[in-house]
Amino acid sequence: MTAQSIQTAATEPQHGEEITVPLNRLKASPKNARKTPHSPVTIEAFAASIKAKGVLQPPVVEVERNGEGAPTGNYLVTIGEGRRQGLRLLAKRKTIKRTHPVRVVVDAENDAHEISLDENMTREAMHPADQFEAFKRLAEEKGYGPEEIGARFGVSAHVVRQRLRLGSAAPELMAAYRGETLALDQLTAFCVSDDQDRQRQVLEQIGPHTPAYAIRRAMTEAKVRVDDRRVRFVGVEAYEAAEGAVLRDLFTEDGGGWLEDVVLLDRLVGAKLAGLAEEAREREGWKWAEASLDHPGVSEFGRVYPVAVERSEADAAEITALSEEYDGIVTEAGVDGLSPEADARLEEIDKALQAFGPDFDYLADAKARAGVMVTLGHDGLARFERGLVRAEDVVADPPSPWEAEGTREEEAPDGGQGGRSGPDADASDDDGGRALSDRLVIDLTAHKTMGLRDAVQADVGAALATVVHALALQVFYPTYGVWTPLQLRLTASGLERQAPGVDDGPAGRRVRERCEAWGARLPEQPEDLWGVVAGLAPSDQLDLMACCAGVGLYAVRDPHDRRPGAWAQAETLATAVGLDMTGTWSATAASYFSRVSKARVLEAVTEAVNPEEAGRIAGFRKGDMAEAAERLVEGKGWLPSVLRTVSDAAEPEDGGVEGPRDDEAYSFAAE
């Protein structure tokens, strides 16, 4: 068919004739069956294709006529409105002229509405697998990169990379996808890696209903996710700079991925922690510094705490004045915020206050025998444990009162008997040099102890101070716990070994902050503690006692250390204080579901959601079930029975407190 150009508006072509029409003479047809307009993305794709390859399929048009039936010189596009819109977009961008010539085919016999409907119905889109492989072929045979292919088809380079990755899937995967035994989300999970051998291995292991996240996990099980705490600490950029390989996930919105060299990652983490530790030692003047990836037994160390920095009256007055000025500027700020001048003044005040140094700091002699340990928290941030004292650096206990009275052997005047002539020896009051016999000392101090008991019972304030002093000694001066006559023993057991990450949880952070706040208020030397405790207001004494009592609580249900009475009392105490663990702990695959039986997982989902959801995941493999359960119970506030607090309404009628059953508490041992 020979094309001819339109010369005048009166020229009327015949049916089936191919002609060339200026773009500005093509109009949308009111008879087009497609009433929903093309999306901007589709029009963009048409424009990109036309720009690269021209109009491959001429639009079908009919002659526009005026009210008298005469041709107007314009043409209504019956088939190909998307191509017309793509051309108009190119003209708008001045890529082509408004009068750009367009080849069209004239239809003067068929009903315009019917052929428009026919065009949109009697066709089948290319299977996505064919598209993936076609993109791959363009890349391999033409040498086109993602940007070039995207420009030629009106899609982003990222979309092209996704399709190229899918086009590189193992043939077995593509066959399963074409045969509809593998869904697109499953195929994308396989293609998180382009390792076809690994794809085949995982394909042999999974069932037809394996969810995509489980396939993705199997494809990356020997790698480290980019949201791992170690990766957040080091940074992907530093890892890549050390020539570490990163497997990117092209099919998730956040662009996540996995680090493939775990050994390199751990080496980088260790080096960065060690650098921070050494930097803290040099800058702050500690005796030693250590770094540890995993949380060490910090509770096994002694502790020194910072003390208030003594300032001159002039410095204290200036700090007060600057602080009041700062607060005044902030208070006077209007709805429009701070003016540039006020903001600049606040910065000056900040710098001036910082020049005075911290309000609390460690004494020089404390730093000379203590150290700092830098660990990696579960939030991916470095955690500094300052003021740790090793056993060999603990200051030796001073001599006891009995040694001070002359019972030490080297002070004995009789030449080596140490002042002791046996348990029944009498002491002479008039020789001045001989010590009392051990037996007499025991007798006399027993009477003194009884007198002390009587006096303390009669003085409530002294009794409270005595208890608080004994507890504080054992919590804040662990090596001096024997410096109290009160036979009250408290053990502050660390929990990090039993549950890694517990110290970095919400409750762990609050406990640590309270202890650090009190540690800063207490004296450096244990012999000065009584004076401080006795001088506190009763409310402060109670607050310090609560801090110490909380540290000493231990309700871990260890099958090798059965203490049913203590466990029952722990449940009573939890009820008394209204303990709500939903704000401290949540059920995840790592924290619970992967560590219990399938029956327990389904029981949890049934309680937290409904039996239908539990039934839906009942056939999953254990790892997949655990991850599915995590998502289902998220935000539901579900807790396993061992973490639930017994309410008053749930208590037995006899008034006893019924804790979790032993089979519930120790179910993990059998599972």
Neighbouring C-beta atoms of residue 407, cutoff 10 Å: 20
In the chain, the largest separation of any two C-alpha atoms, in whole Å, equals: 146
Contacts of residue 157, defined as CB under 8 A and 6 or more positions apart, other chains included, come to 145, 146, 147, 149, 150
Half-sphere exposure of 228 (CA within 13 A, CB side): 16
C-beta of residue 542 within 8 angstroms of C-beta of residue 467: no
pLDDT of residue 161: 83
Confidence of residue 256 (pLDDT cuts 50, 70, 90): low
Percentage of residues in the chain with pLDDT exceeding 70? Answer: 85
State residue 558 phi and psi, 5-degree precision: -95, 120
More confident position, 501 or 317? 317
pLDDT of residue 130: 78
> 0.85 exceeded by the pTM?
no
| b/e per residue 607-646 (b: at least 16 CB within 10 A) | bbbeeebbeebeebeeebbbbbbbebbeeeebbbeebbbb
Confidence of residue 539 (pLDDT cuts 50, 70, 90): very high
pLDDT of residue 595: 85
pLDDT of residue 254: 53
Distance, in Å, from the CA atom of 265 to the CA atom of 284, rounded to the nearest integer, reads: 28
DSSP labels, 464-533: HHHHHHHHHHHHHSGGGTTS-SS---------TTTSTTGGGSHHHHHHHHHHHHHHHHS-SSGGGHHHHH
Contacts of residue 608, defined as CB under 8 A and 6 or more positions apart, other chains included, come to 632, 633, 636, 638
pLDDT of residue 632: 93
The mean per-residue pLDDT over the stretch 159-176 comes to 85
Neighbouring C-beta atoms of residue 476, cutoff 10 Å: 24
CATH number for the segment(s) 4-121: 3.90.1530.10
| Range 574-577 contact pairs with CB under 8 angstroms and sequence separation of 24 or more | 574/645, 574/646, 575/645, 575/646, 575/647, 575/648, 575/651, 575/657
Helix (H) or strand (E) holding 599: helix 598-608
- Residue identified by tokens 């606040």 is 346
DSSP labels, 306-358: -EEPP--HHHHHHHHHHHHHHHHHHHH-BTTB--HHHHHHHHHHHHHHHHT--
pLDDT of residue 654: 41
Q: What would the 3-class secondary structure string for 196-263 be?
A: HHHHHHHHHHCCCCCCHHHHHHHHCCCCEECCCHHHHHHCHHHHHHCCCCEEECCCCCCCCEEECCHH
The candidate with the shortest Cα–Cα distance to 499, out of 508, 488, 509, is 508
Contacts of residue 220, defined as CB under 8 A and 6 or more positions apart, other chains included, come to 192, 193, 247, 258
- Could you tell me where the DSSP H helices lie in 522-580? 529-535, 538-552, 564-577
Percentage of residues in the chain with pLDDT exceeding 90? Answer: 14
pLDDT tens, position by position, 340-364: 888 888 889 888 888 888 777 888 8
The candidate with the shortest Cα–Cα distance to 488, out of 507, 468, 506, is 468
Distance, in Å, from the CA atom of 437 to the CA atom of 589, rounded to the nearest integer, reads: 67
Contacts of residue 657, defined as CB under 8 A and 6 or more positions apart, other chains included, come to 568, 571, 572, 575, 646, 651
The yes-or-no verdict on residue 588 having pLDDT over 50 is: yes
The candidate with the shortest Cα–Cα distance to 305, out of 567, 600, 522, is 522
- Residue identified by tokens 């006893």 is 656
Confidence of residue 207 (pLDDT cuts 50, 70, 90): low
Neighbouring C-beta atoms of residue 557, cutoff 10 Å: 18
The yes-or-no verdict on residue 407 having pLDDT over 80 is: no
Distance, in Å, from the CA atom of 270 to the CA atom of 276, rounded to the nearest integer, reads: 10
pLDDT of residue 37: 84
**Edge-to-edge, what's the strand order for the sheet holding 257-259?**
224-225, 257-259, 246-248
Least confident piece of the model among 49-63, 69-83, 84-98, 425-439: 425-439
The mean per-residue pLDDT over the stretch 55-63 comes to 88
The yes-or-no verdict on residue 333 having pLDDT over 60 is: yes
Distance, in Å, from the CA atom of 338 to the CA atom of 26, rounded to the nearest integer, reads: 59
pLDDT of residue 288: 93
End-to-end CA distance of the chain: 79
The yes-or-no verdict on residue 443 having pLDDT over 80 is: no
- The chain-wide mean pLDDT, for the chain, equals 79
585 in helix, strand or coil? coil
Q: Bridge partners of 4? A: 19
The yes-or-no verdict on residue 651 having pLDDT over 70 is: no
The mean per-residue pLDDT over the stretch 451-478 comes to 83
pLDDT of residue 38: 84
Residue ranges of domains in the chain: 4-121, 401-458
Distance, in Å, from the CA atom of 58 to the CA atom of 67, rounded to the nearest integer, reads: 28
pLDDT of residue 480: 67
C-beta of residue 324 within 8 angstroms of C-beta of residue 349: no
C-beta of residue 308 within 8 angstroms of C-beta of residue 359: yes
pLDDT of residue 413: 35
Sign of the CA dihedral with 515 first, then 516, 518, and 524 last: positive
The mean per-residue pLDDT over the stretch 644-654 comes to 53
Which range of 96-110, 181-195, 442-456, 566-580 scores highest in mean pLDDT? It is 96-110
